Structure 1
Amino acid sequence: MRDVVPEGLLEVGKLGRAHGVRGDLFVDLTTDRTERADVGARLWARGTWYTIERSNRANRRFRVHLTGVDGRTEAEALTGAVLYAEPIDDAEALWIHLIIGADVVETDGTRRGSCVSVIDNPAADLLELDSGALVPATFVTGIDRDADPVVVTIDPPEGLFDLIEG
């Protein structure tokens, strides 16, 4: 049976293997917000809230100690657990759950369609539009969260949409 994740939480990472005998675990973040692994950060995993008591960077991941996880057996029981957290209130952030279904318009008001998915790409995330167009997230200049639906404004280079329309 799968644990029910409280509404509004975002997936931020995954617990890796246990480290040592005192209950430390490795954390692999799926977000670029490294403060998710800071001391004091609250994370939801397998039906329980945990707070990070200690945290050390270990190459591209973190080694953390969570409240209430005081031995290797307890840590091993959490291995592989998906981590969730409350959204960070950041006006500049582009949250995938807000972008999916959003109207995408150019700065001049030209509507380009709705965002149907966000594709993870090493150079930049790509907004996939219902027309099939792919728009690098680096071209996003604004997001109107108060609009219904949400409106994402882009400033693409000339010719980006020519191949799809032609």
Structure 2
Amino acid sequence: MQLVVGKIGRAHGIRGDVSVEVRTDEPELRLGPGAVVMTDPASVGPLTVESGRVHSGRLLLRFAGVKDRNAAEALRGTLLISEVDPEERPDDPEEYYDHQLIGLDVVLQDGTLVGELTEVVHLPYQDLLTVEKADGTEVLVPFVTQIVPIIDLENQRAVITPPAGLIDPESAEVAGSRDADGQDGASEDAVSQDASEESE
């Protein structure tokens, strides 16, 4: 199975380094020195990672054969793709590869179907799950334990406990009305704060 693990950004310096937008939880494995990655467009690769380092919070990579800024800048926008065994699992039992999550049924604790998990969005502060509801609309669910307590791969489902308004916008309006009266606001703020601080 092929998985996108990164996207090449701007050239850095004059010796062929490029910044990379990481799209994997295991960059040291997928994008470490010696790793060979496929590319999209395919004509660019395969590329072999020669060296890597973190600079100002960004991953910088140098690929074999890319020796100057012009060659590095020509790679800008290229997707980096790794071959992964579909049965492979991360070392941490609480972590999952994107392909294991995409397609899961998303349900509430009482079994009510919310929709289908269609995408995992990787952000610097946390991951988000894109859920397509039955009416075709999409909702982003923070991938944190408080909101997604159960990932059941055997039964192909993700159980969520969403705060008021996350799935049903009408609930958000009701909650907002209560906040205006000075009630219930503290608990909702706490949920929001926890979601922003915890990363899977």
TM-score normalized with structure 2 length: 0.58
* Matched AA of 1:14: K
Q: 1:58 to 1:76 in 2, by over 3 A?
A: same
Count of aligned residue pairs for this structure pair: 156
1:38 aligns with 2:32: yes
1:50 aligns with 2:42: no
Q: 1:128 to 1:84 in 2, by over 3 A?
A: same
RMSD over equivalenced CA pairs, Å: 3.6
Higher strand share: 1
**Alpha-carbon offset, residue 101 of structure 1:** 2.9
* Matched AA of 2:103: G
Query: 2-side partners of 1:62 and 1:160: how far apart?
Result: 33
**Alpha-carbon offset, residue 57 of structure 1:** 0.6
Q: 2:106 aligns with which of 91, 104, 107?
A: 104
Higher helix share: 2
The 5 Å alignment of 1:37-116 reads 37-45=31-39, 46-47=41-42, 48-87=45-84, 89-90=89-90, 91-107=93-109, 110-116=111-117
**Alpha-carbon offset, residue 112 of structure 1:** 2.3
Which stretch has the larger CA shift, 75-84 or 28-37? 28-37
| Ranges in structure 1 where 5+ consecutive residues have no aligned partner | 1-7
1:137 aligns with 2:110: no
Query: 2-side partners of 1:52 and 1:128: how far apart?
Result: 34
**Alpha-carbon offset, residue 107 of structure 1:** 4.8
TM-score normalized with structure 1 length: 0.67
Query: 1-side partners of 2:59 and 2:165: how far apart?
Result: 42
1:79 alignment partner, SS class:
coil
**Equivalent pair of 1:23/1:65 in contact (CA under 8 Å):** yes
* Matched AA of 1:136: P
Percent of aligned pairs sharing the same letter: 33
**Alpha-carbon offset, residue 162 of structure 1:** 7.4
